[in-house]
Chain A
Amino acid sequence: MRMTSQIGRWSSALALTLALTLAPGAQAKTKDKDAEASREVPYASTYKAYPGRPTALVGATVYDGRGGRIDNGTVLFAEGKVVAVGASDLAIPEGYDRIDGTGKFVTPGVIDAHSHLGDYASPGVDANSDGNEATAPTTPDVWAEHSVWPQDPGFSRALANGGVTSLLILPGSANLMGGRSVMLKNVPAITVQQMKFPGAPYSLKMACGENPKRVYGSRGMKPSTRMGNFAVNRQTWIDAKAYMEGDHEKRDLAKETLEGVLKGEILVQNHCYRAEEMALVLDMAKEAGYKVTTFHHAVESYKIADMLREADVCSAVWADWYGFKMEAYDGIPENAALIAKEGACVVIHSDDQNGIQRLNQAAAKAQASGRRMGIEIPDAQVISWFTYNAAKAAGIAEKTGSLEEGKMADVVLWNGDPLSVYTRPEKVWIDGAMLFDATNPRMRPVSDFELGQPGEGDVK
């Protein structure tokens, strides 16, 4: 990409993320039912919640992540779970630490449904560039988790500045089928298994448009056009179906992922900017027999928001990115608000190690752009764009993304209105364990990479 190289050549200061809009592959479960029952889940999560104390957050404005707002609310959590959410008269059981949230706000932990942290880690040197297996147009056999470097300092910034408690790590978008995603809990860890979100479904990352046709077309390979993109995808789905119906004698990692999609066990996260391509993808999904969960980047969702509502597909979008590539030319800041107005699902995503630190701010900008054209979206609903809706887009909404009894105690206490530029997370809990506290310099993770380096432990 010409632009990326121009800017990259000049300046570390002007980091573009276009490269990240490229992608890799996935893999699926075995279909042999007996073998499935007996085989252990490979690369299983070893995440264990850290110890927390029973905690009562009182006096704050509480957004539950599903459109609810309680002024002067009380949030109780213990043993990693939300115990109760209510008004100021909610009784606080004995043994709870009481934290005064007067003048502050509480939301569910922030969730980024589109991140490459760990796969495109900082420092962004070639040796850390592990997000695109750009060696074949479809690589559903690769798994993003096998590239994750848990020492990426980006995780700590997302936690401290963004209140991010869970994030979906996707392969890039170089390939039509880039590979399997991995859902992570944003806990500092030595191994990726220690971060893996227990019980989260896998997703297959797919990509429309410019990236796959450019990457492979420039090598004189198929696909070199958008019609080539679809031809390769359709044949791949047909082959996957044949595999699914076969005897599975010889395992095929790529087709295992695709079979998982066709069986509805693996979600589809589809990078797709333009309206007409999204519409074509929906028909391809119908033809092949799978469901698209979320269109990512989706800068033209506003043109087909009614269609996306009917198809029950989320749009994961930026607030105001546009123009960096041809397929982003029609991006407008009102996109999210226009999608919401039609009743379709909005997710604010980052695709960026800096943007992930300010998903709340991006949502606030998108809300304001809507308001100026007469679309009023309540604050409590805007909060859902980076909490519950993001959880839904990643298939974990049953477990987290909202403050409801029994769900994971992933919670952010903000030092002000989270939709204000002047606000930052004050405390962040993941499964009830406090993992960030802005008022305590020791409660700030420092990755191995940053240890002993300039700025170690600094307020970042």
Chain B
Amino acid sequence: MSRILAFAASLAAIAAPLAASAQDLAVTNATLATGDGSEPVEGATVLVQGGKVVAAGVGVAVPAGVETVDGTGKWVTPGIFAAVSDMGLWDVQAVGDSNDLSADKSPFNASLDVVPALNPANEHIAVSREGGVTRASVTPFPGNAIFAGQGALIDLGADAALVDTPRAFQLVVLGEGGAREAGGSRMAAHVTLRNALREAKALAGGAASVERASDALLTHADAVALAPVLSGEQALYVHVERASDIRAVLALKSEFPALKLVLIGASEGWMVASEIAASGVPVLTMPLRDLPEQFEVLGATQSNVGRMVQAGVKVGIGLFAGDNQPRRATEQAGNLVALTKLPGASGLTWAQAFAAITSIPAEISGMGGKEGVLAPGAVGDVVIWDGDPLELSSAPEAVYIDGVKQPFDSHQARLRERYKDLDRTYLPKAYDW
């Protein structure tokens, strides 16, 4: 073998476990939850070919030669979609050098883009993948301005191709957080936002070399970055919690009609649910907040999601950042089902709850019909669970992303294997790997 060939072969050997090609796959006789809000059905088959879902349902024929997994006693679902996460942006939160979430000292804000910072080898991506999460949106956090920058859509496949859609949205914070960033008040935050959009408009409307007004506050890069927000090409995620802050965001549509708004947080959304529904603006929220941890969330209740959904708001579960691990999406959805048994509370049916962590966040992220569902043409993200995926006792047995079976070999998994016994008779634990 020539040296070049040998080199290529060794590369291939290294890359093989990471870049396995999409395989055709069928899961048969499983309990199927497609993620689209329909009730689970038993005895179903999911067929994936060429990395895409070909069919999912009862009575699906499996072509000869397709590798088949017996799903008897198992559940099969699309992968979880973790909306508004910080996956891939830090190794250890409190270790600053490992943490790319925000840039307190940068002169830039809206133009910040998570893409070059994202690390596909990140431990939290591996851990989340083992928890059944296959797709996510990743957002930067605000550093010293109301604009945090531009988030991306990713898949969690164990390969280098992490980013599916770069610059999918811009995040802006209003409410208490926005007030702090803008200099001390909600008024300042709103003026800052409007001014920024107008500067972006002025820039977008003129020649590239046009001289900007001498009182321009945005850097050129930030103003450029806001142009697609203004035109509605890029979604604007707005973090607010208080009912009055939500109204103030909805009112932006009259001034800037093209804005493609998504409400982030909205803990008091239930108090203005009909207005949100009428606006058609979707919501991504943490569903179990129920404490007045700030004055802007005095009305927080776990019934928030149920009430908004009843009012006709499109609500997905999200904000998986910090200690709110993406793999907890399922238990959060399960807790919303628990509420349906509590007098006076509003929860979700099982099917609604599961959609709130799959198809709905995918739709809100612009991936409707493609991700978060098992339907013909959708990505071949398939999770086989050992039981009801929303139940605490359940976990994925296998995860496929784009039809590729994923490894379960995180740092956590290896520690578990090393310490499954404490025997140190013959060699130190360090040799056990």
Query: A residues touching B (Cβ–Cβ < 8 Å)?
Result: 1-4, 6-7, 9-18, 122-125, 153-154, 157, 161, 210, 302-306, 320-326, 328-334, 338, 342, 353-354, 357-358, 361, 364-365, 367-369, 371-373, 415-416, 419-424, 438-439, 441, 449-450, 453-455, 458-460
Interface of B is mostly: loop
**Interface residues as binary, B314-336 with A (CB distance below 8 Å gives 1, 0 otherwise):** 00000101111101100100110
**Interface residues as binary, B156-181 with A (CB distance below 8 Å gives 1, 0 otherwise):** 00000000000000000101110011
B204 within 8 A of A: no
- In the bound assembly, the distance between CA atoms of A357 and B181 in angstroms comes to 32
Closest CB in chain B relative to A331 CB, distance in Å = 8
Chain B residues contacting A305 (CB-CB under 8 Å) are 422
Chain A residues contacting B292 (CB-CB under 8 Å) are 122-123, 153, 449-450, 453, 455
Chain A residues contacting B177 (CB-CB under 8 Å) are 9-12
Closest CB in chain A relative to B325 CB, distance in Å = 7
* Given A6-B141, A10-B148, A422-B341: A157 touches B173 (CB 8 Å cut-off): no
Contact across chains for A424 and B338 when beta carbons are under 8 A apart: yes
Contact across chains for B298 and A455 when beta carbons are under 8 A apart: yes
Most buried by B among A2, A364, A415: A2
Closest CB in chain B relative to A441 CB, distance in Å = 6
Residue on A with the closest CB to B391?
Answer: A421
Pick from B271, B344, B392: contact of A454, CB under 8 Å: B271
Chain A residues contacting B337 (CB-CB under 8 Å) are 421-422
Contact across chains for A11 and B338 when beta carbons are under 8 A apart: no
**Known pairs A10-B102, A13-B319, A303-B422 / 6 extra A-B pairs, C-beta < 8 Å:** A6-B102, A18-B94, A323-B123, A325-B92, A330-B415, A342-B422
Query: Chain B: how many interface residues by the 8 Å CB criterion?
Result: 83
B394 within 8 A of A: yes
B202 within 8 A of A: no
Pick from A154, A357, A373, A420: contact of B416, CB under 8 Å: A373
* Given A455-B298, A460-B301: A325 touches B323 (CB 8 Å cut-off): no
B281 within 8 A of A: no
- In the bound assembly, the distance between CA atoms of A46 and B285 in angstroms comes to 42
B426 within 8 A of A: no
20 pairs, CB–CB < 8 Å, chain A vs chain B: A2-B99, A3-B322, A9-B142, A12-B176, A12-B177, A18-B93, A157-B290, A302-B419, A303-B429, A320-B328, A323-B123, A325-B94, A338-B419, A358-B335, A361-B331, A415-B341, A420-B392, A421-B338, A423-B338, A460-B300
- In the bound assembly, the distance between CA atoms of A453 and B302 in angstroms comes to 17
Contact across chains for B334 and A459 when beta carbons are under 8 A apart: no
Contact across chains for A16 and B322 when beta carbons are under 8 A apart: yes
Query: B residues touching A (Cβ–Cβ < 8 Å)?
Result: 90-96, 99, 101-102, 104, 123-124, 141-143, 148, 173, 175-177, 180-181, 239, 241, 243, 264-265, 267-268, 271, 285-286, 288-303, 319, 321-325, 327-328, 331, 334-335, 337-339, 341-345, 386, 390-395, 411-412, 415-416, 419-420, 422, 429
* Given A10-B173, A122-B292, A439-B343: A326 touches B95 (CB 8 Å cut-off): yes
Closest CB in chain B relative to A218 CB, distance in Å = 13
